[in-house]
Structure 1
Amino acid sequence: MQDINKPGVLFLNAPKNTSVPLVLDSPHSGTTYPEDFNHASDFMVLRRAEDTYVHELYANAPSAGAVLMGAHFPRSYIDVNRGLNEIDTSIIDGSWTGPVTPSEKAEAGIGLIWRVNQLNDAIYDRKLSVSEVQNRIDHYWQAYHDTLKGALDQSVQQHGKVYHINCHSMPEISNESSKEGPGVQRPEFCLGDRLGTTCDAAFVDVTKTTLETLGYQVAVNEPYAGVELVKAYSDPSENRNSLQIEIRRDLYMDEKTLEKSDNFEKLKKDLDILVQKLAEFSLTA
């Protein structure tokens, strides 16, 4: 496998030397805002949707033999952690012929194409053309999914199995749109396997135990259990395992200024330890 870089779209950093059946992806840490976005949102509010720096926290994963990939574009442009059917057609000017299924995320304005920002304010002062939406699907969503699926399939072909980590971050405190209600402090880490359906329980356990040994508070499936990317490509019965990891943002950054904190490097080193442990597990499990 070779490195991939599609400017403005995605990157894939291949394993260094020997590979292990471990693939990490960071779908929401992109900070390259496409020229055709043409949003009307306050930019810093819009940026609150980013998992800023998450791909940097895991940057050493290829040295442990793992694949690391991520999006360059922001989730507020098109969210690759949503299904193509999770689309709010009210923001489209024209007739949409693609699949549409009632979705809690789409109804809340944060489906495939986000309608509102983190303050629940409208992102656009206009409707999007059908061609705009189709372009985002074809050149961003599809490209990301094809690349991730290709990396996962290659691991299965080479090793007979794959362990996929879907990498995210979360605000320290919940807001009005959170399922737990506003003002609740989140755990430092949340692991999501969609209630035991997307990942081998032993992989979840070693992830949780390693993080706790490093001194972190870890919850499982609360407040996040995982969404499209862990659901779409997982099948533990076929040795395809996907686990979502959410990191509380105040552990490594200032949530208001989006600047890295003094703890950034310590957290990164701890994640190096975690990835190395998971890489070893993936070979022997």
Structure 2
Amino acid sequence: MHAALQLIQRRHRLQAAQPGAAGAPATAPAAMFSAVPGRTALVLDSPHSGTTYPGDFRAAIDLPTLRRAEDTHVEKLYAFAPALGVAWVEAHFPRIYLDANRDTAEVDASMFEAGFDTAWTEPVTTDPVVLQKVRLGKGLIWKFTDEGVPIYDRLLSVAEARARIDRCWRPYHAAVARAIDAAHARHGYSIHINCHSMPAVAASHATLHPGLHHADFVIGDRDGSTASPALSQAICAFLRERGYSVDYNHPYKGVELVRRYGHPAAHRHSIQVEINRKLYMDERTLAIEPAGFARLQGDLRAMVEWLLATDPRQ
């Protein structure tokens, strides 16, 4: 069976169980990510589209509220990619349980039981820019929803935080790193697209720009530090030619996955691509809008095919 079809079937089985929401039953542990090897220089990953809510989540809010944090349907938008030889890595755990696009140092000590300072032996960030997002409740383990609703009615233990890191963060990052290393070894360069979606309007606790009306796309390379600015700007131009509004490095520059794996001087390019959800879905019901989805997916396929023919060294 083709690897892409196996992934789709597996995803459907995983989405059948949602044990982590308030009042939901516990189920057996599920696989926390999927990875399809590639044969090209291109790697795509989707860290925030997961819909499998682990039984140890024990959130205080219901599933519909939790699901508003998902980059819903992003994995479906790029479902064509493995058949083109593109490496694909996809998280099944939800970002509101653990955010794979954050460093493990981005923790909020106020979320934990007494004794955190002695029990937590890993680094804790002191970077003032990073701490802005942690204080919004958007660190490695979220404290608030995008609308500012508390996610827990309890304090977490250090042991459960470590378990989430070991079960979700470490294997996900290892899979992304392997895919990029393999692509680079095959071709002498790699292009990593970190796939996301964003609401049409930023909520109060979502970003540092609440109320901002987003463009159709935001392309981020952390101000040219994770990819060639020429490549990033070429992606912006490609999308604009197809009628989309595109912002570059504002309000989203890219976070941990592009920061960690992007090294343009070594021909390792990592770029974050944010897509406005209004283009392809109803943000209230989470239902796909078929016409918008079809048009967008066709344009994303064209973008991926163009990237497959692009060598940033030239």
Superposition TM-score, scaled by structure 1 size:
0.93
Q: CA RMSD in A?
A: 1.8
Q: 1:207 to 1:39 in 2, by over 3 A?
A: same
* C-alpha displacement of 1:175: 2.4
Q: 1:133 to 1:180 in 2, by over 3 A?
A: closer
Partner of 1:75 in structure 2?
95
Partner of 2:79 in structure 1?
59
Of 167-176 and 91-100, deviating more is: 91-100
Q: Secondary structure at the match of 1:245?
A: strand
Partner of 1:171 in structure 2?
199
Matches within 5 A, 1:80-95: 80-93=100-113, 94=115, 95=119
Matches within 5 A, 1:1-285: 7-15=30-38, 19-93=39-113, 94=115, 95-102=119-126, 103-177=131-205, 178-182=207-211, 184-262=212-290, 263-282=292-311, 285=314
* C-alpha displacement of 1:48: 1.2
Q: Which runs of 4+ in 1 moved over 3 A?
A: 2-8, 282-285
What letter is aligned with 2:97?
Y
- Structure 2: any 5+ residue segments left out of the alignment? 11-29
Q: Secondary structure at the match of 1:128?
A: coil
Partner of 2:15 in structure 1?
none
Of 247-256 and 206-215, deviating more is: 206-215
Q: Deviations over 1:174-215 (max 9, x none)?
A: 222333332x32100000011111111232122112211221
Partner of 2:17 in structure 1?
none
Of 275-284 and 156-165, deviating more is: 275-284
Ranked by relative contact order (alpha carbons within 8 Å, sequence separation 6 or more), the top structure is: 1
Q: Distance in 1 between matches of 2:272 and 2:46?
A: 10
Of 273-282 and 247-256, deviating more is: 273-282
Superposition TM-score, scaled by structure 2 size:
0.85
Q: Secondary structure at the match of 1:49?
A: coil
- Structure 1: any 5+ residue segments left out of the alignment? none
* C-alpha displacement of 1:79: 0.5
Of 264-273 and 134-143, deviating more is: 264-273
